[in-house]
Amino acid sequence: MEIRIDNLTKKFGDVVGVEDLTLHIEDGEFVAFLGPSGCGKTTTLLTLAGIYKPTDGLIRFGDRVVNTVQPKDRNIGMVFQSYALYPHMTIFQNIAYPLKLKKAPKNVQNEQVRQVANVMGIGELLDRRPGQLSGGQQQRVALGRALVKEPDVLLFDEPLSNLDARLRLTMRGEIKHLQKNLGITSIYVTHDQVEAMTMADRIAVMNGGHLQAFDAPDELYDRPKTRFVAGFVGNPPMNFLDVEVSPANGQFLAQADSIELPLGVERGEASAGHRGTVVMGIRPEDIQIVDEGDVRGEIFVVEPLGREDLIDVRIGPHSFILLADTEKQHRAGELVSLNFDMTQAQFFDPQTERSLLWHQ
Amino acid sequence: MSEPVAKPKSSAALVQSRRNALRSYLGAYGFMAPAGVLVIIFFLIPVAIVLYLSVTNLASSNFTSDLAKMEFIGLKNYQTLLNDQFARKIFFNTIFYVLVTLSLFNVSLALIVSLLTTHIDRSAGFVFRALWILPRITSPVVYILIWKRMMAEAPFGILNQFNEFLGQPTYNYVATNPWVFVVVVNGFIGVSFGMIIFTSAIESIPKDLLNASLVDGSSRMQRIRYVILPLIRWPLLFVVTYQTLSLLTSFVEIQLLTDGGPGLYRTEVWSLTAYHRALSNYFGNAQWGYGSAFAVLLVMIGVVLAVIYMRVFRFDELVAEPRVEAL
Ligand SMILES: Nc1ncnc2c1ncn2[C@@H]1O[C@H](COP(=O)(O)OP(=O)(O)O)[C@@H](O)[C@H]1O
Ligand SMILES: [Mg+2]
């Protein structure tokens, strides 16, 4: 089912849930809504589900405008962070509930519930009650309940946030696998950018009720269109620095206090046209500790992450996060030389926060 | 590494642990003491006094400054009661009054009001509920006076003044339909208790659960039937139990409205009889002993009902230890 959202606004009194959201989702696509808590992801999802009526704008499922269509007439399946299983029903009754409401015959209900339960690996739990299941099992039941009615659209609201890290990893794979197999158009809300990056075909990044970007994961990562996207996508997050970019002997130079970084023509021209300072962004993996580099600084803190060390290097008043091999055994207080891979640097307008490199 | 062997306790440690046990024991009773004192003073002692009075012939006709003249007459009061030609009528009056008021108002209307006011705008719902609380917080005398003024016969009653103004016949509302007014007037007071309990129970159902039901394909009515009602089962049973008992003992409103009439015992209920016999006899004779017998029977009926409710509704399950969460 193709979903087209045009200029969608949802307000609660004066509080803006989501504003002027335009988003076209293709049939069978897996889209993630990514953004910090309170940015309007759940609001958008519940508006799509028909729980909230849009304040303004149009929502279309296929060619049908569904703005005022009741939730029960939208044929959607939804999975909640809290699982939202009915505590007074058995697992069987939980999964059968959508079928019962559709008035499916008892034997059909029985058959479909068992089939879905087997796919989800919860076949032996059907007689239990939700309270007797682990979080992971409950989430499988919730997924089964959403799938049993063969929905046109699947909505997920942070479904894995309450699970432990290992289970999250397994379920991530399973959900993605299921979605691809069944080809159901899906919207997956999360504040975890790793989840969004690994699962989604495209990611809608939201902040403060506004859509920041809607792109494929690697596109978001390599060519962030706003400073917010650049800072939100990627872990550890991108380093930002106010710099002045000016031409210097056929090349360009990005400058901030004692830091001077040579810059290629393409990126230089795009950012130097700007009067005054611009915001430069550079990812941790694009800064290396080398023997002989562009700038020198002092290691402030070393945080071992296991596979690598997260290192905070101070250069004058500026601070940079970067990653280094644990075998190098860097220590706080050590003086190091840094090399910046400026072919990967991003530049943003300090006022509009839009990228100077990738225009929309 | 030494083996973890349980060391024999030294005698000092033993004394210490005994002292701790005693302290926590005393602590527990200390916390229960205020409630316990209240129960003793306002329930157990009055019950004991009434029990005692019910086997005496104490009445204003034989009352002297020397209470010792009061005679122990065994179960004679109870015998009289069972042979009382009106006891049967009053008993069925009471059952009728409790059943009808409870089912129509204290439970059904309370449920309907709380369902309606939780399905509309929050502040509008709050206003409607506040209105329904008014009868409860108004002093009974004032509240009943309002009703009586509304319904009084021509030319005093407000409704009848309207009737006259419109050229319609006038009615003596309360006299012709005393039960309707007894039930409605008490019912309006009774709604608020269930309403408050049901509303808070409905509002404490997780929003996700309610949304999930709609997404799963239920209409709002189906959601009430399959999700909301089963989830507020305990509050429902509690209100049924509690309100049965409080209706059984309530009589002030009936006393003010019809005083058991019109005619002989038309709307007289058991608790009102106890009051009439003991404290406000038509014939000026306050039969304290005989009235106490009525009261004792009422307490017994209440206790029996409470036990039946607790068994049938399995309230022990409600207060049982929660099973270990397998999360
Ligand atoms: N029912 C509601 N009433 C009033 N404000 C709401 C309601 N739901 C959400 N909001 C507000 O809308 C904004 C977006 O919330 P939400 O969509 O829940 O964010 P997210 O799911 O991204 O964390 C927040 O400021 C929140 O306080
Ligand atoms: Mg949310």
Dump pLDDT digits (tens) for A48-77: 999 999 999 999 999 999 999 999 999 999
Tell whether pTM > 0.90: no
Q: What is the pLDDT of residue B147?
A: 86
Section A39-50 average pLDDT: 95
Q: How far is A36 from chain B (nearest CA, A)?
A: 20
Section B301-307 average pLDDT: 88
Q: With 70 as the cut, is the pLDDT of residue A82 above it? A: yes
Between positions 90 and 119 of A, the ones with CB within 8 A of B are 97-98, 101-102
Q: What is the pLDDT of residue B156?
A: 79
Yes or no, beta carbons of A101 and B227 under 8 Å apart? no
Q: What is the pLDDT of residue A199?
A: 93
User: Can you list the domains of chain A with their CATH numbers?
Assistant: 3-232 (3.40.50.300), 239-348 (2.40.50.140)
Determine which residue's CA is closest to atom 25 belonging to ligand 1.
A38
User: Is residue B136 packed enough to be buried (19+ CB in 10 Å), middle (13-18) or exposed (0-12)?
Assistant: middle
The answer to whether residue B12 sits within a structural domain is no
Q: With 60 as the cut, is the pLDDT of residue B6 above it? A: no
Section A227-248 average pLDDT: 90
Q: How far is B315 from chain A (nearest CA, A)?
A: 17
Strand partners, A221: none
Distance between CA atoms of A143 and B28, rounded to whole angstroms? 47
Distance between CA atoms of A96 and A88, rounded to whole angstroms? 14
Q: Where do the H-state alpha helices sit in chain B?
A: 11-39, 45-53, 76-83, 87-101, 110-118, 122-137, 140-151, 158-165, 173-176, 178-203, 207-215, 220-223, 229-231, 233-249, 252-257, 270-279, 288-312, 315-318
Q: With 60 as the cut, is the pLDDT of residue B107 above it? A: yes
User: Is residue A354 packed enough to be buried (19+ CB in 10 Å), middle (13-18) or exposed (0-12)?
Assistant: middle
pLDDT tens for each residue of B10-26: 677 778 888 888 888 88
Domains in chain B: how many in total? 1
Q: How far is A82 from chain B (nearest CA, A)?
A: 7
CATH number of the domain bearing residue B249: 1.10.3720.10
pLDDT tens for each residue of B44-76: 898 888 888 888 877 777 766 666 667 778 777
Q: What is the pLDDT of residue B299?
A: 87
Distance between CA atoms of B125 and A40, rounded to whole angstroms? 27
3-class DSSP string for chain A: CCEEEEEEEEEECCEEEEEEEEEEECCCCEEEEECCCCCCHHHHHHHHHCCCCCCEEEEEECCEECCCCCHHHCCEEEECCCCCCCCCCCHHHHHHHHHHHCCCCHHHHHHHHHHHHHHCCCHHHCCCCHHHCCHHHHHHHHHHHHHCCCCCEEEEECCCCCCCHHHHHHHHHHHHHHHHHHCCEEEEEECCHHHHHHHCCEEEEEECCEEEEEECHHHHHHCCCEHHHHHHCCCCCCEEEEEEEEEECCEEEEEECCEEEEECHHHHHHHHCCCCCEEEEECHHHEEEECCCCEEEEEEEEEECCCEEEEEEEECCEEEEEEEEHHHCCCCCCEEEEEECHHHCEEECCCCCEECCCCC
Compare A274 and B270 and report the one with higher pLDDT: B270
**Contact A86/B at CB under 8 A:** yes
**Contact B208/A at CB under 8 A:** yes
Give the count of Cβ contacts less than 8 A between chain A and B.
68
The answer to whether residue B41 sits within a structural domain is no
Which amino acid is residue B1, in one-letter code?
Answer: M
pLDDT tens for each residue of A329-341: 888 888 999 999 9
Yes or no, beta carbons of B212 and A78 under 8 Å apart? yes
In chain A, what residues touch B217 (CB-CB under 8 Å)? 71-72, 98, 101-102, 149
Compare A120 and B317 and report the one with higher pLDDT: A120
The answer to whether residue B245 sits within a structural domain is yes
Compare B284 and A350 and report the one with higher pLDDT: A350
Query: In percent, how much of chain A has pLDDT > 90?
Result: 69
Closest CA to B238 of B319, B171, B181: B319
3-state SS, residue B217 = coil
Q: With 70 as the cut, is the pLDDT of residue B281 above it? A: no
Section B309-325 average pLDDT: 67
pLDDT tens for each residue of B219-263: 999 999 999 999 998 899 889 989 998 999 888 888 877 877 787
- Give the closest ligand to the alpha carbon of residue A18: 1
The answer to whether residue B54 sits within a structural domain is no
Q: What is the pLDDT of residue A45?
A: 95
| Residue B254: domain span | 73-326
Determine which residue's CA is closest to atom 12 belonging to ligand 1.
A17
pLDDT band at residue B318, thresholds of 50, 70 and 90? low
Give yes or no for a contact between A236 and A310, defined as CB atoms under 8 angstroms apart: yes
**Contact A267/B at CB under 8 A:** no
Q: What is the pLDDT of residue B325?
A: 42
Which amino acid is residue B79, in one-letter code?
Answer: Q
The answer to whether residue B13 sits within a structural domain is no
Distance between CA atoms of B281 and B279, rounded to whole angstroms? 6
Cα-based torsion angle of the residue sequence B194, B200, B201, B203 in order, rounded to the nearest 10 degrees: 140
Q: With 70 as the cut, is the pLDDT of residue A230 above it? A: yes
The answer to whether residue B311 sits within a structural domain is yes
Q: With 90 as the cut, is the pLDDT of residue B209 above it? A: yes
In chain B, what residues touch A132 (CB-CB under 8 Å)? 323, 326
Q: What is the pLDDT of residue B327?
A: 35
pLDDT tens for each residue of A137-172: 999 999 999 999 999 999 999 999 888 888 899 999
Q: Are strands A210-215 and A64-65 parallel, antiparallel or unpaired?
A: unpaired
pLDDT band at residue B324, thresholds of 50, 70 and 90? very low
Q: What is the pLDDT of residue B319?
A: 62
Whether A17 is in the pocket of ligand 1, judged by its Cβ within 6 Å, is yes
Q: What is the pLDDT of residue B122?
A: 87
The answer to whether residue B210 sits within a structural domain is yes
pLDDT band at residue A274, thresholds of 50, 70 and 90? low
Q: How far is A354 from chain B (nearest CA, A)?
A: 37
Query: In percent, how much of chain A has pLDDT > 70?
Result: 99
3-state SS, residue B314 = coil
Q: With 60 as the cut, is the pLDDT of residue B1 above it? A: no
Place of tokens 């009586």: B148
Q: With 50 as the cut, is the pLDDT of residue B326 above it? A: no
Give yes or no for a contact between A246 and A258, defined as CB atoms under 8 angstroms apart: no
Distance between CA atoms of A146 and A119, rounded to whole angstroms? 13
Q: What is the pLDDT of residue B7?
A: 55
Strand partners, A337: A290, A296
Complex ipTM:
0.85
Whether A41 is in the pocket of ligand 1, judged by its Cβ within 6 Å, is yes
Option in B216, B323, B327 nearest A101 (CB): B216
Compare B157 and A45 and report the one with higher pLDDT: A45
The answer to whether residue B219 sits within a structural domain is yes
Mean pLDDT of chain A: 91
Q: What is the pLDDT of residue B5?
A: 52
Mean pLDDT of chain B: 83
pLDDT band at residue A46, thresholds of 50, 70 and 90? very high
Place of tokens 């006899």: B281
Distance between CA atoms of A80 and A139, rounded to whole angstroms? 8
Place of tokens 């608790």: B271
Crossing angle between the packed helical segments B233-249 and B178-203, to the nearest 10 degrees: 150
